[in-house]
């Protein structure tokens, strides 16, 4: 795990996550989060209208949905801060309503905006929460110091929380959620307000927490960011689960649109034509200069045609094309064949992330 963090982290990266407080893990922590038939209304607004979800231990699960779809309401119920009207909820095996203390003792909650007591220092904020979780003083002091290092707030440890910027408050909120080494972590828009470096740190930290066997449920509107860290996803729309059971690995077999960039547009599009691969001009370029008509680009391959495209052609320029592939295997084959045929490929990547694609497909269905 350490190597993963170091590999991806220039300049030494975030300090290691502090060792968990050695309280024995509940035997049911591996149950993660299980929700069935959850409903919650605010007056006439049905914020949750039938949510079913499973977030597994050892995995990062993305909670995805448009504004007002019920993500925060769901997280508040899971955190034991809101009583549902109907349905069953288990967090690390405990019901947050009937067994609130046990559930909260295993749950770390990071709201989208973390309010602090401005007169307390960052260290005092964390120590106060450590005391609330009844962590012995000596152990708590060490834990708090480690967490301040983890979220890069050592410099601000003894300054009033009021001087912290929004992003720094978010990081303090994350440290607060981790004080008692929870089995289940609930994060509502954790990256909002974070600078790019802190976002990378957050992603690495969440990955590591999941690798330690914790359940991580994270909501965000930034799908590209969720994509980087999520193993599974749950989609909410109008208070209902609309896609459950979405997993990163199950998506490997799904069709996808790829963007291919080449030093030579002509070499690329000539090869695509000869290989019988349907393609479209890349919107980022406009229609490539001198490219064949995309409508005519689905001609069957000509076995007699030479497989080596010419070098740069007069008037040719770097550019790209967009192609549809059947699955990851198909993408790998296409790239291999293009390179083998001598196309000077400079980039080959999905046009959209899988989460973003799934989200847009969902939106498309609703129209
Ligand atoms: N305390 C409340 N009183 C009344 N209505 C509420 C309350 N909290 C949430 N709602 C309503 O419940 C619905 C779900 O809100 P929620 O905050 O859970 O959505 P969300 O998916 O988190 O949205 P966003 O992405 O904008 O944060 C919305 O229609 C919202 O207006």
Domain that holds residue 294: 253-366
- From the CB of 220, is ligand 1 less than 6 Å away? no
Residues 231 and 278 in one domain: no
Which atom from ligand 1 is nearest to the alpha carbon of 76? 18
Q: Is the dihedral angle over the CA atoms 238, 241, 243, 246 positive or is it negative?
A: positive
Q: Which residue has the tokens 């990851």?
A: 328
Last-in-domain residue among 247, 279, 297: 247
Residues 243 and 258 in one domain: no
Question: Ligand 1 centroid vs 230 CA: distance in angstroms?
Answer: 23
Beta-bridge mates of residue 345:
262
> What number of other Cβ atoms are within 10 A of residue 87's Cβ?
16
Residues 257 and 227 in one domain: no
**What is the rounded average pLDDT of the residues 202-230?**
90
Q: What confidence tens digit (pLDDT) does each residue in 269-311 have?
A: 999 999 999 898 886 655 443 344 444 444 444 444 444 444 5
What ipTM was assigned to the predicted interfaces of this complex?
A: 0.98
Residues 308 and 215 in one domain: no
CB-based contact 246:254 (threshold 8 Å): no
- From the CB of 72, is ligand 1 less than 6 Å away? yes
Residue with CA nearest ligand 1 atom 26: 67
CA angle 250, 256, 258 (to 5 degrees): 135
Question: Ligand 1 centroid vs 68 CA: distance in angstroms?
Answer: 5
The answer for 359, left when phi > 0, alpha when psi is -120 to 50, beta otherwise, is alpha
**Cα distance between the two ends of the chain:** 44
- From the CB of 47, is ligand 1 less than 6 Å away? yes
Over pLDDT 70: what percentage of the chain? 78
Question: Ligand 1 centroid vs 66 CA: distance in angstroms?
Answer: 11
Residues 345 and 211 in one domain: no
- From the CB of 69, is ligand 1 less than 6 Å away? yes
Between residues 364 and 27, the one the model is more confident about: 364
Between residues 154 and 23, the one the model is more confident about: 154
Last-in-domain residue among 227, 247, 267: 247
3-state secondary structure 109-153: EECCCCCCCCCCEHHHHHHHHHHHCCCCHHHHHHHHHHHHHHCCC
Total domains present in the chain: 2
């Amino acid at each position: 795990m350490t190597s993963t963090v170091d590999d991806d982290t220039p300049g030494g990266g975030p300090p290691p996550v502090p060792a968990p407080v050695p309280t024995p893990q509940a035997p049911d922590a591996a149950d993660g989060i299980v929700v069935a038939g959850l409903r919650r209304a605010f007056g006439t607004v049905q914020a949750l209208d039938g949510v079913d979800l499973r977030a597994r231990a050892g995995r990062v699960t993305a909670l995805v949905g448009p504004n007002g779809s019920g993500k925060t309401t769901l997280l508040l119920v899971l955190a034991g801060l809101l009583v549902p009207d109907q349905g069953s909820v288990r967090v690390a095996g405990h019901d947050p309503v009937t067994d609130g203390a046990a559930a909260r003792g295993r749950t770390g909650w990071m709201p989208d905006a973390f309010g602090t007591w401005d007169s307390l220092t960052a260290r005092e904020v964390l120590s106060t929460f450590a005391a609330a979780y009844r962590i012995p003083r000596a152990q708590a002091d060490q834990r708090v110091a480690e967490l301040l290092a983890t979220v890069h707030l050592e410099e601000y440890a003894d300054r009033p929380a009021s001087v912290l910027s929004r992003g720094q408050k978010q990081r303090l909120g994350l440290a607060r959620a981790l004080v008692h080494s929870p089995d289940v972590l609930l994060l509502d828009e954790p990256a909002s307000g974070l600078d790019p470096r802190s976002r990378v740190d957050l992603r690495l930290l969440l990955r590591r927490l999941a690798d330690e066997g914790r359940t991580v449920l994270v909501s965000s509107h930034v799908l590209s960011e969720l994509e980087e860290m999520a193993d599974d996803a749950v989609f909410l729309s109008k208070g209902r689960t609309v896609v459950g059971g979405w997993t990163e690995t199950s998506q490997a077999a799904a069709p996808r649109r790829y963007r291919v960039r080449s030093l030579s547009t002509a070499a690329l599009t000539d090869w695509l034509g000869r290989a019988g691969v349907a393609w479209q001009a890349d919107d980022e370029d406009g229609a490539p200069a001198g490219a064949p008509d995309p409508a005519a680009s689905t001609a069957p391959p000509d076995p007699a045609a030479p497989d080596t495209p010419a070098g740069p052609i007069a008037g040719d320029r770097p550019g790209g094309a967009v192609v549809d592939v059947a699955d990851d295997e198909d993408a790998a084959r296409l790239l291999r064949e293009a390179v083998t045929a001598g196309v000077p490929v400079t980039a080959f990547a999905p046009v959209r992330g899988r989460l973003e694609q799934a989200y847009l497909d969902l939106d498309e269905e609703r129209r």
